[in-house]
Amino acid sequence: MAIFSVTFPFFALVLIGYLAARFRILPIVGVGALNTFVLYFALTAMLFQLGARTPIAELLDPVVLTLWAVSGLLIMTIAAATALRRRVGWLDASFGALIAVLPNSGFMGVPLLTTLLGAAANGPIIASLLVDIVLIQSIGVAFSHRGSGERLSAWGEIKGAMTRMSRNPLPWAIALGGVWGATGLTMPGPVDQVITMLAAAATPVALFTIGAVLAREQGNKPAGRIRTGVHAYGDVYWLAFLKLFAHPLFVWLLGRGAIAIGLPLSEQALVVLVLAAALPAAANVSMLAERFGADNGRVARVILVSTVLSFATFSTAVLLFT
């Protein structure tokens, strides 16, 4: 009950946002504005503060970064390989891989894990977020171009990935926060108050926005794009299984192996990474899928299924590992 008392309000806010958009209390056209506020203002302020309060050595811990990257690439490989065996094209296979591995760390994980575990969660969760944005997402989008008429050189792929990453405010907020914290300077009072007010808005608005985005995607199913039947829904539940069960399991196994061979990975950092992996699928993958012309209905269903199931699975993971 103590765990549910912490996790319930977070998932309740997601549900409230979903119902508000589903029943048009919140106009669907307003969802994009909410998303922009969270991404470019509230969440960036929160990550700046967390970056400033966390030593750079924790933000860039090589063991944490490597563990998260390897486990993520393994899940991506499994998800993409099973999709390709089903004769799914590279575009949808790549976005299936992304939705199976990218957790909702920004909008949900950062506030939820810092509430559950305190300041000790800052370093590992922010490091995992950096890997997801810089490496995992870039690889997934790059592979989505295979099989299309677009042929890019290796430099072209790297340049495109770096351009997309540079437009994401989250790594910039983390980097600037880390640099500011390293200087030891004190933020002027009025400026610090503005940043604190924006950061305080991040958690409730972000969670509400996740629900609104899910409702919007449910109501925007493009005709002719969504396959029906057991085969399609089996794929959705398979991807949700990879996200909610296989990903945290791989992180835990690799982490136990790293500790066993003497790598400097703390038990607390491993718990944070396992719980981050147990989060539901990232809502922003739906926006990426829409932008690149992938089967967004499939992606949106995985996000919805994983979010609903994670209320039970994430709470169970917290019970097991904390």
> Residue 61: which pLDDT band, with cuts at 50, 70 and 90?
very high
Mean of per-residue pLDDT scores for the chain:
85
Percent share of the chain, pLDDT over 70 = 88
Q: Residue 281 has what DSSP assignment?
A: B
Per-residue pLDDT, 266: 93
The angle subtended at Cα 252 by Cα 251 and Cα 255, nearest 5°, is: 85
Per-residue pLDDT, 219: 64
Per-residue pLDDT, 298: 85
* Packing angle, helices 169-183 and 122-131, rounded to 10: 140
Q: What are phi and psi of 281, to 5 degrees?
A: -65, 150
Percent share of the chain, pLDDT over 90 = 39
Per-residue pLDDT, 228: 36
Q: Residue holding tokens 């592979």?
A: 143
Q: Map out the domains of the chain with their CATH numbers.
A: 2-220+227-321 (1.20.1530.20)
- 3-class SS of residue 84: helix
Mean pLDDT of 112-125: 89
Q: CA 43, CA 55: separation in Å to the nearest integer?
A: 19
* Packing angle, helices 247-260 and 62-85, rounded to 10: 140
Q: Tell whether the model's pLDDT for residue 225 goes beyond 50.
A: no
pLDDT tens digits, 128-182: 999 998 889 888 888 877 755 555 555 565 566 667 667 778 888 988 999 998 8
> Residue 268: which pLDDT band, with cuts at 50, 70 and 90?
very high
pLDDT tens digits, 245-256: 999 999 999 999
> Residue 58: which pLDDT band, with cuts at 50, 70 and 90?
confident
**Closest Cα to residue 250, out of 79, 61, 70, 60?**
70
Per-residue pLDDT, 81: 92
The angle subtended at Cα 284 by Cα 64 and Cα 234, nearest 5°, is: 90
Contacts 24+ apart (CB under 8 A), 221-225: 221/297, 221/300, 222/296, 222/297, 225/295, 225/296, 225/297
pTM of the model: 0.84
Mean pLDDT of 257-263: 95
